[in-house]
Structure formats: structure tokens, C-alpha cells
Copies of this chain bind each other. A is one copy, B any other.
Amino acid sequence: MKPLMTLVDAGKITIASQLTDRLREAIVSGQLAAGAKINLERAREQFAVSLSPLREALARLISGGLVQFEDNRGYRVAPVSLSNLREITRLRKEFEVFALRESMSAGDIDWESDVMRALHKLNRCARDAAKPSTLEQWEASHREFHIALISGCRMPVLIEFCRVLLNLNDRYRRTFLRATSGDRKVGAEHGEIAQRAVARDVEATCERLELHIDRTGSNLLRHLAGKIGP
């Protein structure tokens, strides 16, 4: 019996599960390059694990769209493309706005509180381009904020879909927009969306989220086109 332990770490215990998180982070952060072949032997050494948990972790990442697989040819990091980024942006608008609308209709006080908590945490994250750990912290808080917004909808499958889209989107931002300074507008947008969401100002909130996703998506597309287009 180790109930305290369980409560304290509450996290992934097995190698395969830890590795799943580490690999996802490595891909989303751009540490593992888009489109790159994943050599099992080298990955095994790099992450200091054995083959079985490595394969299991990679298998789990396939349907998140971050890893591709082909029989007898192994695993590779999913490539990036303009069309993929366009689709992700389009789907985020469709799915997240739908989920947010549901949240405002079904969310209770706990949901409202979670949104405000996530907003506060996000606002308190100081991004210091010199310290990568602060960037990672901001990314985590940012993802949590967007998930918190839609978590009132009580649709676990939908939330999971949105989480997948957020991961895919974050990879583009972290890989191709790394140096960007904190873009003042974004912070203000988050605050306004959160405020109006808990106030159940449905149409205005949805409109603003859609605009927010669109604006950040277009910004990303511009940068990406500059890097892989010409």
C-alpha cells in the first residue's frame, strides 16, 4: 500500500507512459524534427530506455497525429505542411467554438472557477526568451487555459479531439515562432474571452475565440510560408 505516494505523484509510473509524455514534448517542442525518421536504436539510447516501452509509447502517439507509422519501415515524426496547418486552424475554429458554446450552456460554477484560475495562471507566466523553462511553462498554462474554456461542455470525446488539435497547433507555434516576443494582443484576448465566457455572453465570446484562433493561425501561416515556401 502506498496511498500517499499515489496522491503525491498522481502521475505516470511506467516507463512507457513517462516516455509517451517525453516523446510528445520532444516532438511538439521541435526537438525531434518534423518529418524525421525515428531510428529505434538511436532513440533507445537517447532516451535511455529499452525497445518494448519505446515502441509502445510511439504506438500511443500515432493517433494524436504527431507520429506516423508504416509496416516494416518504422516510425517517423509527422511532417508539417501549409495545408496541414490550414486544416488544424479551420478545425480548431469549428470544434473549439462549438465546445465553448456548449460549455457556456452546460458549465457550472466549478467550470467558471477553473477558467478564471487558468487565466490567472497564464497571466502570471512571464515569458523570458532566455530561459526555455519559462517558455515551456507558458505553453503548458496556455494549453490548460484553452482546455479549461471548453471543459464545461461535458463531452470527453470532444475535449480529447480539441486536445489533439491543440497539440498539433502548438508544435507549429513552438517550432516556427520560437523567438516571438509575447505579442501583447494575445494576453488581452485571453482575458476578454474568459470574462465574457463566464458571463455567458455567448455570441460575443464565440466570435472572439474564433477571431483569436484565426489571428494566431494566420500569423503562423505567414511565418511558416516564409520558412518552407520559398
A interface residues with partner B (beta carbon < 8 Å): 12-14, 16-17, 52, 55-57, 59-60, 62-65, 71-72, 84, 87-88, 90-91, 94-95, 98, 155-158, 160-161, 164-165, 168
Residues in B neighbouring A65, C-beta threshold 8 A: 157, 160
Smallest CB separation, A96 vs chain B (Å): 12
Interchain CB contact under 8 A, B161 and A72: no
Interface of A is mostly: helix
Residues in B neighbouring A17, C-beta threshold 8 A: 71
Interchain CB contact under 8 A, A90 and B56: no
User: 7 tightest A-B contacts by CB?
Assistant: A63-B63, A59-B59, A13-B71, A59-B60, A56-B59, A87-B155, A14-B71
A71 to B84, CA, bound (A): 33
Smallest CB separation, A87 vs chain B (Å): 5
Interchain CB contact under 8 A, B71 and A12: yes
Interchain CB contact under 8 A, B155 and A90: yes
Smallest CB separation, A219 vs chain B (Å): 20
Q: Contact partner of A158 among B87, B155, B158, CB < 8 A?
A: B87
Residues in B neighbouring A57, C-beta threshold 8 A: 59
Smallest CB separation, A99 vs chain B (Å): 10
Q: In the complex, what residue of chain B is closest to A102 when comparing beta carbons?
A: B90
